[in-house]
Chains A and B, each alone.
Chain A
Amino acid sequence: MHIPDGYLSPQTYVPLYGASFIFWAVALKKFKKDMSAKYIPYLAMASAFSFLIQMFNIPIPGGTTGHAVGAGIIAILLGPWTAVIAVSVVLIIQAVVFGDGGITAIGANCFNMAVVMPFVSYWIFKVVKGNSKGGMRLYTAAFLSGWLGLSIAALITAVEFGIQPLIAMSSDGRPLYAPYPLSVAVPVMALEHLLLFGIVEGIVTVLLLKYFIKHEPDLIYAVKEY
C-alpha cells in the first residue's frame, strides 16, 4: 500500500501532503499537551512494531503481496492521535531510508496508513465494543477494527490510484501516472485486503490486545474510562 514516486499526479500528492500536515500538527499539539513520560517507551515500541510487521509480506500465490500495518492496534493501545505520530514516523523513514513508498507520496501514504487507518480502526473498535470489558464482543471489536481499518485504508489508496487516469492523460491518450482506472484498482485492492491482508491485520490486533489485557490492562487507551 506504499505508493511509489510517479504514481500520483501533483494534483493528488500536494493536497494529500496538506491533509497529513493538518493531522501531524494536531497530533503533535495533543501529544505535547497530554503525553506523559511513562508512555514514551511504548510509543517507540509501537513505531518499531509497525515498521517490523510491515516487513512480513504475505503472498497471494502467483500474484501480488501485501502486509499488515499495525495502526489499528496502536490506536487501541495508545489512542488514534498517538498512532498518527507512531505510524507517520515509520512511513517517512521507510520512504527516505529504504525507498519503500515515494518521497512525493509521503503525504498520501501517511494519510492512508497513519490517519485513515488508525481513526477508522479506533472508531470501529469503540462502536463494536460498546461497554464490554472482555470476552467475545471485545475481541470481535478488535478483529473488525484491524480487518476493516486496513481494508478501508486500501480502498482509499485504490481511489487515489484509480483517479489518476481521469486527472492526467498525455496527448496520445495514455495515462501520465498510475495507469489503472477505478474499475480495476478499487476491486483489486479492496478484495485482496478484505480476503487476506486485512484478516491477518485483524488476527494480529486480537492477539496483541489479548496480550496487553493480560499483562498491562491499565495501559490500554481505548478501554479506559473517562
Chain B
Amino acid sequence: MTLFQKKLWIGLIIMALLSPIGILLPEKFNAGDAWGEWGTDTLEKLLGYVPEGLKKLTDLWKAPIADYNLGSENSPIIIQVLSYVISGILGIAIVGGVVYLISRLLVKANGKEHRV
C-alpha cells in the first residue's frame, strides 16, 4: 500500500467516526425522513391512509441492521450514535470486501494483475 493510499484509508475511517453528524444535525434541526422515503406510520399521518400496494410490499425484507441502528427508533441517542459508527465501519469492510472480490476475480481473468 502506498503512503497516499494509506492516507485515503485513514480519511475514510475518520469519515466513519464523524458519521453521527448525519443523524445529530437532522435531529437538531427537526428534519425527518428524506422526501419519498417515509414509513407507513408517517404516510398514515401525511395522507390519512396507507396506499394498498405499498402496504403489501413495505415489509418485504427485514434488514439485519435496519436504518443503521442496532437498537430501535426509541433507543437512547448514544446507542444510535454508536450503531451509526459501527455501521460506517461495517460498510467500509463489506463494500470494500465485495469490490475487492469482484475485482480479483475479473482482473485475474484478464492477465493484468501484474501490470502496474
Residues of A within 8 A of B (CB): 1-7, 9, 28, 31-33, 35-38, 40-45, 47-53, 55-67, 85-86, 89-90, 93, 95-100, 102-104, 157-158, 161, 168, 170, 174-180, 185, 188-189, 192, 215-216
Q: Is the CB of B98 within 8 A of A98?
A: no
Q: Is the CB of A35 within 8 A of B33?
A: no
Q: Is the CB of A179 within 8 A of B19?
A: no
> How many whole Å from B56's CB to the nearest CB in chain A?
7
Q: Is the CB of A31 within 8 A of B106?
A: yes
Q: Is the CB of B35 within 8 A of A188?
A: yes
Interface band, chain B: 35 or more
Alpha-carbon separation in the docked complex, A98 to B15 (Å): 18
* B58 interface contact, C-beta 8 A: yes
Alpha-carbon separation in the docked complex, A58 to B63 (Å): 23
Residues of the B chain whose Cβ atoms lie less than 8 Å from the Cβ of A60: 29, 31
* B110 interface contact, C-beta 8 A: yes
Residues of the A chain whose Cβ atoms lie less than 8 Å from the Cβ of B49: 174
Q: Is the CB of B67 within 8 A of A99?
A: yes
Residues of the A chain whose Cβ atoms lie less than 8 Å from the Cβ of B76: none
Cβ-closest chain A residue relative to B104: A40
Alpha-carbon separation in the docked complex, A99 to B115 (Å): 39
> How many whole Å from B30's CB to the nearest CB in chain A?
5
Residues of the B chain whose Cβ atoms lie less than 8 Å from the Cβ of A102: 57, 60-61
> How many whole Å from B100's CB to the nearest CB in chain A?
5
Binary A-proximity of B81-116 (CB < 8 A = 1, otherwise 0)? 000100110111011111110111011011011111
Cβ-closest chain A residue relative to B112: A36
Binary A-proximity of B14-39 (CB < 8 A = 1, otherwise 0)? 01100101110110111111111100
* B47 interface contact, C-beta 8 A: yes
Cβ-closest chain A residue relative to B35: A64
Alpha-carbon separation in the docked complex, A43 to B30 (Å): 36
Q: Is the CB of A35 within 8 A of B16?
A: no
Residues of the B chain whose Cβ atoms lie less than 8 Å from the Cβ of A47: 95-96, 98-99
